[in-house]
Chain A
């Protein structure tokens, strides 16, 4: 018998071990739901799987009686749009700021304290300000995401640029590169995969800010719907929505990882030894 630290599960066993907690959770849920429903058939806290299925059908595959929309898809579309614009704007701004601060000492001296100060402002605390300044429309929600995650990504990018060995920057100059060429041929290509990493890590916060903004002021969106149906204790809608959001978050993360993998093979094969990403 090998020592426990040297015991690696085979591939099928790994799948089983990984799936087990999920199966356990579902079984636990069904048991608890059955028990509550047996006591009170009108209980709304832990709806049965069939009523959840009913709710999914109602939200996703039947037009809403009042508006004629397929609510789940309308909500998903609006939320993803906000998330996309928020994250794209953040990533772009952070890339420009982070790379220029990392590469140019003058830019670093000028902007670094500002970015640090802004990153310390709790974004949720200025949400009212955003609503006052940008109104209750799309802008304020996107701006909240941008304010929430840009400083984090910027600081991350700045650190990553500073991590590029000086030797490379000097070498590029001895090959005749000017400042601009150093940035676009040496720094930028090495930073892009790290930008994707950083976006993946901040997506969690982006969702948080999105749902918070939608909960407070919106007429559609996944966060809006959850907080709307909360008034009727509609756990049968809330639970699938939460699962759906989780699934979306996972899909986006997966997609970004694949994009990074195919676009920057040198980055990932280089990292292989360091850990599984």
Chain B
């Protein structure tokens, strides 16, 4: 990688103060409790991978971080101020699908953030400003390895290439937080490994704080610096909705050790939860 100078400078907090805080976070739909008692702190640059059984509130949790869903009780603080309750430029997102715009080419998709930023009415750039945006977009496309496909439309790209594009598109905006909702769930194993390398590299480079949902426990160990397991601690068979999921395990992952080794170490814990089968 050549452009190490592109690391984000907006992050003001020092590495040891909590960057994002979840205080008594609670989410209910009617009398159905989805999440309860989430109390966590996350520091700048942490890569949090989230695993858990289907329907245990992982996506709800991510949506609350994104701002499309608001907590019933409790709060999410970003540098001591409550998180905006609608999606904005501070948090980038890559979904499993539909993250890129089908009517724009790769280059246009990546350039879009620049156009939105600099041209509030037309959302289009001309002349010098356009050339600058184009250059920056090309650099970003290069970084994710899509230079050869810059003028293609998303439907002409493979699934892996589309996710690379979605990443480039988000990262050009220089978000402080990156949210990944099973971004590699639909990809082949080989392509997935490539994507893991790319994501690890880019996240370190941009000093991103990342939250990633995954179904693949190995992936969670490979990518994360921290692993959260979402699970229900209490069950009421008479009223399945009475208790919500909590973060039952919060593991620190050492990136310098092989993920398989650490996975084996925690096997006992993980087997205990319902995600073992999903992984």
**Residues of A with Cβ closer than 8 Å to B?**
165, 167-168, 170-178, 180-181, 184-186, 189-190, 264-267, 269-270
14 interchain pairs (CB within 8 A)?
A: A165-B97, A168-B98, A168-B99, A174-B87, A174-B88, A174-B92, A174-B93, A175-B116, A176-B88, A178-B120, A181-B120, A181-B123, A185-B116, A265-B153
Asked whether A267 and B68 contact (CB < 8 A) given A170-B87, A173-B87, A175-B173, the answer is no
Asked whether A185 and B123 contact (CB < 8 A) given A165-B98, A167-B98, A171-B99, the answer is yes
Q: Which of A167, A172, A173 contacts B86 (CB 8 A)?
A: A173
Q: What residues of B have a CB within 8 angstroms of the CB of A165 in the complex?
A: 97-98
Q: What residues of B have a CB within 8 angstroms of the CB of A168 in the complex?
A: 98-99, 101
Q: How far is the CA of A265 from the CA of B155 in the complex (A)?
A: 12
Q: What residues of B have a CB within 8 angstroms of the CB of A172 in the complex?
A: 101, 112, 116
Q: Chain B contact residues (Cβ within 8 angstroms of A): what range?
A: 20 to 34
A171-B166, A173-B86, A174-B66 given; 18 more Cβ-contact pairs under 8 Å: A170-B68, A170-B93, A171-B99, A171-B101, A171-B169, A174-B87, A174-B88, A174-B173, A175-B89, A175-B116, A175-B169, A176-B113, A177-B116, A177-B123, A180-B121, A181-B120, A185-B112, A186-B101
**Is the pair B95, A269 in contact by a Cβ cutoff of 8 Å?**
no
Q: Which of A170, A176, A189 contacts B103 (CB 8 A)?
A: A189
Q: Which residue of B lies closest to A167 (CB)?
A: B98
Q: What residues of B have a CB within 8 angstroms of the CB of A175 in the complex?
A: 89, 112-113, 116, 169-170, 173
Q: What residues of A have a CB within 8 angstroms of the CB of B91 in the complex?
A: 174
**Nearest-Cβ distance from residue A64 to partner chain B, whole angstroms:** 50
**Residues of B with Cβ closer than 8 Å to A?**
66, 68, 86-89, 91-93, 95, 97-103, 112-113, 115-117, 120-123, 153, 155-156, 166, 169-170, 173, 175
**Is the pair A267, B93 in contact by a Cβ cutoff of 8 Å?**
no
**Is the pair A181, B116 in contact by a Cβ cutoff of 8 Å?**
yes
Q: Which residue of A lies closest to B155 (CB)?
A: A270
Q: What residues of A have a CB within 8 angstroms of the CB of B97 in the complex?
A: 165, 167
**Is the pair B175, A174 in contact by a Cβ cutoff of 8 Å?**
yes
**Is the pair A185, B115 in contact by a Cβ cutoff of 8 Å?**
yes
Q: What residues of A have a CB within 8 angstroms of the CB of B155 in the complex?
A: 266, 269-270
**Is the pair A174, B120 in contact by a Cβ cutoff of 8 Å?**
no
Q: Which residue of B lies closest to A272 (CB)?
A: B155
Q: How far is the CA of A267 from the CA of B104 in the complex (A)?
A: 10
Q: Which residue of A lies closest to B66 (CB)?
A: A170
**Nearest-Cβ distance from residue A176 to partner chain B, whole angstroms:** 4
**Nearest-Cβ distance from residue A87 to partner chain B, whole angstroms:** 24
Considering residues B98, B100, B117, B121, which has the most beta carbons from chain A within 10 angstroms of its beta carbon? B98
Q: Which residue of B lies closest to A190 (CB)?
A: B103
Q: How far is the CA of A269 from the CA of B102 in the complex (A)?
A: 11
**Is the pair B103, A264 in contact by a Cβ cutoff of 8 Å?**
yes
**Nearest-Cβ distance from residue B30 to partner chain A, whole angstroms:** 21
**Is the pair B117, A176 in contact by a Cβ cutoff of 8 Å?**
yes
7 smallest CB-CB distances across A and B, nearest first, come from A173-B87, A167-B98, A165-B98, A176-B89, A175-B113, A266-B153, A181-B123
Q: What residues of B have a CB within 8 angstroms of the CB of A180 in the complex?
A: 120-121
Q: How far is the CA of A168 from the CA of B173 in the complex (A)?
A: 16
Considering residues A174, A184, A186, which has the most beta carbons from chain B within 10 angstroms of its beta carbon? A174
**Is the pair A190, B102 in contact by a Cβ cutoff of 8 Å?**
yes
Q: What residues of A have a CB within 8 angstroms of the CB of B169 in the complex?
A: 171, 175
Q: What residues of A have a CB within 8 angstroms of the CB of B113 in the complex?
A: 175-176
Q: What residues of A have a CB within 8 angstroms of the CB of B116 in the complex?
A: 172, 175-177, 181, 185
Q: What residues of A have a CB within 8 angstroms of the CB of B68 in the complex?
A: 170
Q: Which residue of B lies closest to A186 (CB)?
A: B101
**Nearest-Cβ distance from residue B92 to partner chain A, whole angstroms:** 5
